[in-house]
């Protein structure tokens, strides 16, 4: 959280027209977030392969993490990214993730705003590493956890980034994810919160309506009607 801050000043959009997968892939790796995630991902992979001792609990950790990932996405999107700034004792309570997410809604094609902010990863990745090393009964299992989480984070970054490029979906699974997230940005920001899947946590938690029955929001690009 941060204390009161001056409103952000308008700036030129940093959007690019990207229509092919090779161009999208090249642009993706020009930003710090993918590298910051990929380095611990490779480290966890090397460590896990070196440690060996594979057991059924490794598969269980992977299955559980993948199963809860849509719910985690939904909770983070609703509870953190769509955090409404609040004044307490004359001080505005707000922080970098919701601020950047509001900017992201204002200009969904501004590429740097698509990624997880690097200061957040500076804090998050060491915490995940510590969990992997110390929170499990076997360090091998902890490395399986770290490998799975960092792989999912990289997959999240790639999926979210690709949706916001001009590359058009060609296959049904990605088309469903693409439409789901773009409804959130261009139809109504109160629905369709998951990014890497469609109709999962949203369907369970009541935020997966028929788009034809949902009014187009006037604040989809201006969250909370902020200035």
List pLDDT tens digits, range 163-216.
Answer: 999 999 999 999 999 999 999 999 999 999 999 999 899 999 999 999 999 999
Average pLDDT on 5-11 reads 46
Q: Is the pLDDT at 57 greater than 90, yes or no?
A: yes
Integer Cα distance of 102 and 82 in angstroms: 8
By residue count, the chain amounts to 227
pLDDT tens digits, 68-126 = 999 999 999 999 999 998 888 888 888 889 999 999 999 999 999 999 999 999 999 99
Q: What is the residue extent of each domain of the chain?
A: 22-169
HSE (side-chain half, CA atoms, 13 Å) at 40: 27
Q: Is the pLDDT at 8 greater than 50, yes or no?
A: no
The whole-number pLDDT of residue 93 equals 84
Cα 116 off chain centre by: 7
The whole-number pLDDT of residue 86 equals 86
pTM for this predicted structure: 0.91
pLDDT tens digits, 127-162 = 999 999 999 999 999 999 999 999 999 999 999 999
Mean pLDDT of the chain: 92
Integer Cα distance of 90 and 221 in angstroms: 27
């Amino acid at each position: 959280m941060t204390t009161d801050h001056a409103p952000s000043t308008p700036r030129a959009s940093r959007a690019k027209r990207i229509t092919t997968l090779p161009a999208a892939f090249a642009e993706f790796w020009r930003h710090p977030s993918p590298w910051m995630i990929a380095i611990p991902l490779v480290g966890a992979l090397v460590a896990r392969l070196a440690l060996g001792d594979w057991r059924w609990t490794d598969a269980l950790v992977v299955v559980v993490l993948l199963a809860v990932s849509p719910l985690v996405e939904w909770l983070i999107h609703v509870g953190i990214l769509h955090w409404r700034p609040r004044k307490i004792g004359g001080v505005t309570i707000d922080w970098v993730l919701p601020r950047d997410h509001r900017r992201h809604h204002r200009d969904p094609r501004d590429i740097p705003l698509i990624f997880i902010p690097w200061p957040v990863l500076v804090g998050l990745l060491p915490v995940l590493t510590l969990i992997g090393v110390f929170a499990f009964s076997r360090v091998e299992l902890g490395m399986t956890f770290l490998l799975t989480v960092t792989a999912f984070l990289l997959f999240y970054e790639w999926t979210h980034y690709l949706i916001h490029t001009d590359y058009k979906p060609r296959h049904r699974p990605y088309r469903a994810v693409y439409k789901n997230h773009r409804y959130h940005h261009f139809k109504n920001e109160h629905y369709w919160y998951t990014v890497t899947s469609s109709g999962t946590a949203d369907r369970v938690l009541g935020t997966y309506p028929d788009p034809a029955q949902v009014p187009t929001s006037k604040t989809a690009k201006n969250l909370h009607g902020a200035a």
